[in-house]
Chain A
């Protein structure tokens, strides 16, 4: 239950971290450490070099510029949860961050760490998928951007090349007055969700669904956008029958089974969560419309 020996390197800047990542063999980047340190303690992961990004202040922080939101990779999950400006333009983020681990892990855990770890049940990759986010990766030679839709290459396998550092994630806030909901089901609050769902909705002047985005987490190799459900919802007036149809469509997806729950259980649970989430998101969109 102790990590195998490694050499610790404190990166003083992004350039220094990139230089270390390019030159050190069998190195891993350390951000909040709330997953990586646990995996090292369990010796699922053994590295020769650990490059600590915690001192790299230039990749921490939240900026909102004309509706474009950028979260620096080293922004603590607690800072995201408690940011008033972010809560005003993207209220689903705080609702989802409340499910990320516990108060102690959110004090250390970061946005970039969660995106790089890419646990199938993680809320932050789910939000990134829901918001059509773009991920920025940097190495000693320069930067590139990857659409979140293309970023997961498989189970816990992000599109990050050797020597690259995830520096930020950015996305457009939905229009003022949109509806939102994030909910999940876990054995204990803060544990890995058996299934979770995020929904974003806008309504048109007639109260019909103008735009919908729905994502499931914890049911597949990575976050699963429900494109078929979104298409089905668009143009329809919100009602219980519509939500039930969406739930049935979501529950018909192939899903993973594991030691905790079977595929059948997860499909049923996902359907229930999708139905309730869409109802709440549409209610909130409706309330905003009448305000």
Chain B
């Protein structure tokens, strides 16, 4: 076995909690969340930026967790799938809509889709179907055929415009 690689301490805020853990420089943010912080809701599919399963929010922006290094998240605010529901477990309007409209089957891609849409609907509350389909173009789902995802997103946007919150 080669010598263990040096690690560095990384401190950041995840879902509102200040956390720190050690990681090698080469650790991706997604691997850091899963293996160092135990937040396994963030999924890794392709690990080269194509599938979108690892999408998390960094300072509110949706980014690929596999293409950003953990060390680059030092001092940042990160939101993962674990941070979308309310503290009491109440689902966000988007999560609720996904449940009601069958917006997932196996659920592997769902964390990335929910984080992506959380940011997108915050920035584009009046998004229509073509805009939502384009926003979702960076997330691959092999179960649903996307129609139920789009239906759920439209329903969530509607609910949020009427004042629904997590």
Would you give the 0/1 interface string for B112-144, flagging 1 where the beta carbon is closer than 8 Å to chain A?
A: 000010011000000000000011011100000
The reply to whether the CB of B158 lies closer than 8 angstroms to some CB of chain A is no
Q: Tally B residues with Cβ within 8 Å of A.
A: 30
The reply to whether the CB of B67 lies closer than 8 angstroms to some CB of chain A is yes
How far is it, in angstroms, between the C-alpha of A7 and the C-alpha of B71 when the chains are bound? 11
B116→A105 contact, CB < 8 A: no
A6→B25 contact, CB < 8 A: yes
Would you give the 0/1 interface string for A92-112, flagging 1 where the beta carbon is closer than 8 Å to chain B?
A: 000000100111110110000
Q: Tally A residues with Cβ within 8 Å of B.
A: 31
How far is it, in angstroms, between the C-alpha of A101 and the C-alpha of B24 when the chains are bound? 28
State which residues 2-16 of A face B: CB under 8 Å.
Answer: 2-8, 10
State which residues 141-189 of A face B: CB under 8 Å.
Answer: 188-189
B138→A52 contact, CB < 8 A: no
A50, A54, A188: the one within 8 Å of B25 (CB): A50
B5→A104 contact, CB < 8 A: no
Given contacts A1-B47, A2-B31, contact A108 B68 (CB under 8 A): yes
Q: Which applies to chain B's interface (DSSP): helix, strand, loop or mixed?
A: mixed
A54→B61 contact, CB < 8 A: no
B47, B69, B116: the one within 8 Å of A8 (CB): B69
State which residues 251-285 of A face B: CB under 8 Å.
Answer: none
Would you give the 0/1 interface string for B23-56, flagging 1 where the beta carbon is closer than 8 Å to chain A?
A: 0111010010000000000000001110010010
How far is it, in angstroms, between the C-alpha of A246 and the C-alpha of B5 when the chains are bound? 58
How far is it, in angstroms, between the C-alpha of A73 and the C-alpha of B5 when the chains are bound? 32
Q: Which residues of B contact A6 (CB under 8 A)?
A: 25-26
Given contacts A50-B25, A104-B55, A105-B138, contact A5 B64 (CB under 8 A): no
How far is it, in angstroms, between the C-alpha of A52 and the C-alpha of B73 when the chains are bound? 12
A38, A98, A107: the one within 8 Å of B48 (CB): A38
How far is it, in angstroms, between the C-alpha of A108 and the C-alpha of B52 when the chains are bound? 14
A107→B67 contact, CB < 8 A: no
B66→A37 contact, CB < 8 A: yes
Beta-carbon nearest neighbor of A2 in chain B: B26
Given contacts A103-B116, A105-B64, contact A38 B26 (CB under 8 A): no
Given contacts A8-B25, A108-B67, contact A41 B62 (CB under 8 A): no
Q: Which residues of B contact A10 (CB under 8 A)?
A: 71
How far is it, in angstroms, between the C-alpha of A98 and the C-alpha of B64 when the chains are bound? 18
A104→B26 contact, CB < 8 A: no
B63→A5 contact, CB < 8 A: no
Q: How far is the CB of B35 from chain A (nearest CB, A)?
A: 11
How far is it, in angstroms, between the C-alpha of A4 and the C-alpha of B72 when the chains are bound? 17
How far is it, in angstroms, between the C-alpha of A33 and the C-alpha of B52 when the chains are bound? 15
Beta-carbon nearest neighbor of A44 in chain B: B48
Q: How far is the CB of B34 from chain A (nearest CB, A)?
A: 13
B26→A107 contact, CB < 8 A: no
A8, A37, A103: the one within 8 Å of B49 (CB): A37
Give B residues with C-beta under 8 Å from A.
Answer: 5, 8, 24-26, 28, 31, 47-49, 52, 55, 61-64, 66-69, 71-72, 116, 119-120, 134-135, 137-139
Give A residues with C-beta under 8 Å from B.
Answer: 1-8, 10, 33-34, 37-39, 41-42, 50, 52, 54, 78, 98, 101-105, 107-108, 188-190
Known: A5-B5, A78-B61, A104-B64. 16 other contacts (CB 8 A): A1-B47, A3-B26, A5-B26, A8-B69, A8-B71, A41-B28, A41-B48, A41-B67, A42-B48, A50-B25, A102-B138, A103-B116, A104-B138, A105-B67, A189-B134, A189-B137
